[in-house]
Structure 1
Amino acid sequence: MEYSILMPGASIDGVGRIERSLIGHDAEVTRAPDTPRAHRLVLGDHSKVQISS
């Protein structure tokens, strides 16, 4: 993760590269099949997101 901020409790699993992102408290980012790639994220607390890697 380049130039990204993860708040406490945030997790990223199975995802390749995330750039210039803000991931909120207890947010989950996981790999999803057949979805567009995401490069920049701003997620609020307790968010759950699936992106392709």
Structure 2
Amino acid sequence: MVNYERQKGVCPACEKNYAIGEMEADHIIPWSKGGKTTIENCQMLCRLDNRTKSGK
């Protein structure tokens, strides 16, 4: 919820506004590359952008 509020409901990938239920949590630096689960390394992406990203 913190990241959603910080981002004002905007997906940083497509820059469109979404309701919280239309977004998913994402690691900026993926777990597979050593990313940690911290507020600084997490963001909210819309479902499409999050599912397209897949560890990139």
TM interval, short-chain normalised: under 0.3
1 or 2, which has the higher strand percentage? 1
Structure-1-length-normalised TM-score: 0.26
Q: Compare CA radii of gyration and give the structure with the larger one.
A: 2
